[in-house]
Structures are given as C-alpha cells and as structure tokens.
Amino acid sequence: MDAVKLRDLLEAVAAGEMAAADAMERLRTLPFEDIGFAKIDHHRALRKGYPETIFCSGKTPEQVVTIVSRMRERDTNILATRCSPEVVRAVLKVHPDAEHHELARAIRITVSRPEPLSGYVAIVCAGTSDLPVAEEAAVTCEAVGGCVKRVYDVGVAGIHRLLNQHELLNNANALVVCAGMEGALPSVIAGFVETPVIAVPTSVGYGANFGGLAPLLTMLNSCASGIAVVNIDNGFGAGIYAATLCRMIDRNRPPATTA
C-alpha cells in the first residue's frame, strides 16, 4: 500500500464510506506480513516510494507465486527479479496478465501506474553480452516511474559509437553504465559528461575478468569523478539508485509559478 492508497483509505473512513473495522483489517498486515518462509514488507512503499522487490534466485516457484499473490491482494505493484524459466511459468499460470521481460529475467505486474518521474535515465552498456544486466536496470527504473533511454553496444573497443551520444548522455538525470571485460566504459563517460554515473561491473569476460572482479576494481579505482559503483551484475541496485536520483530532483525542484 503506497501513500496515495493509504490517504484514500483514511479519507473513506472520515467520509463514512468505510467502516473503521474494515479499514483496520486492510491495515492489519502493516508493516509486514509473516507467511512463514518470508516476511512481506507491505509498508515499504510508504517509506521508500516503491514496493518491495521479489528476488527470486534461491526461492522455489511455489514460494514466489505465494509472495506475488499476497502482494497483489494488497493492490501492490510487483517487480520480481532473477526469475528462472520455472518461476516464470508458475507465475504466469496464476497471473496470466504478468509481464515477462525475458532479457532482464524479470516479471512485472502493474496494479496502478507509478507516478512518473521527470527527465530520463540513460542506460548504457558496453556490449551485447552486457544486455541482461542493463535490461534489469532499465526494467527496474521503469517499474518505479522512471523514463529510460537505452544506449547499447558502445564499448571502448569502438569508441566512435559512443561519441555521437554526448548530448543524450549529458542531458540525462543519471547514467547507468554497464561493462564487463576490463570495465573502462564508466570512466570514459564520466570524463566528458556532468551527469552522475552509476557504474555496474558485469561478469562478462575471459578468464582474467575473474567473474566481474576485474571491472569492479577498475570502476572503484576510476580517475574520473562523479562515479558511484554497485556490485557485480547488480542492475537492480543501479536502476533503483538512478530512479531515486530522479525522485530527489523532482522533490527539490521549485514549484511552477503562474503569471
């Protein structure tokens, strides 16, 4: 339940359109609901501005379906990440209107459209092999109201592909830059734009990539300023961080004045 739905609930009680006992039943599972194998944080949208995300890796299909169903009963938008094919089949069987984002390995159910954030986030990736992580960031950002522009396959091995994207990158509220191999792309981009860069190391690369450790260290040691680094393959974390920056920009923007 987000802040808007909670306000509507309280206003319905105040107007005599809903009994206090019914409202109490709706609020009974706040701030969380204990279902044995999980404690669902129904209160998170009130605190954070977006509902709890279901991380599916390590969960059985039955567990995921149960969590999705309980959240949906509370009129909550749902984002599930790292979905295996088995999880996808199980969720779609019970909730056929769910959106499956295959490349991002994610499932979305939109109960109510999130309030759109102004501006846009540019999701950038070095190569096609980085797309699953980039798409996880993009789908996550969109799920909480962000507008996303994708700039894909512009790695340093063909830097000319990146240079004509300068205006788009510089005008974004935030950049999510995903790269594997040696992980140089975030440093290159941060060196010629003023936009905050969220660097995402991916586990793409040959042996000395060490499963993403090499690009992680490159990004942490960047000589370019204005870079934040998330964990290896953490497209979700980068997408949420970018959307949070957009939300803070909206919050601090002066109200429009009328002549």
Predicted confidence (pLDDT) per residue in 131-190, tens digit: 999 999 999 999 999 999 999 999 888 888 888 899 999 999 999 999 999 999 999 999
Domain identity same for 86 and 199: no
Residue 23 forms part of a structural domain: no
Domain end: 74, 109, 144, which one? 109
Taking the model in full, what pTM does it have? 0.83
Is 63 in contact with 38 (CB distance < 8 Å)? yes
Domain end: 109, 136, 167, which one? 109
Domain identity same for 147 and 215: yes
Predicted confidence (pLDDT) per residue in 219-252, tens digit: 999 999 889 999 999 999 999 999 999 998 888 7
Q: Which residues on adjacent β-strands are paired with residue 228?
A: 198
Higher pLDDT, 17 or 126: 126
Residue 15 forms part of a structural domain: no
Domain identity same for 234 and 145: yes
Residues 128, 53, 248, CA angle at the centre, nearest 5°? 85
Domain identity same for 78 and 130: no
Is 246 in contact with 118 (CB distance < 8 Å)? yes
Domain that holds residue 94: 30-109
Residue 16 forms part of a structural domain: no
Domain identity same for 146 and 241: yes
Nearest to residue 204, comparing CAs of 124, 102, 135, 129? 129
Domain identity same for 209 and 166: yes
Write out the DSSP string of 137-169: HHHHHHHTT--EEEE-S--GGGTHHHHTTHHHH
Among 28-42, 60-74, 92-106, the minimum mean pLDDT is found in 28-42
Question: Taken in order 95, 101, 105, 111, is the CA torsion positive or negative?
Answer: negative
Q: How many domains does the chain have?
A: 2
Predicted confidence (pLDDT) per residue in 51-87, tens digit: 888 999 999 999 999 999 988 888 889 999 999 999 9
- Extract the tokens encoding 43: 């209160």
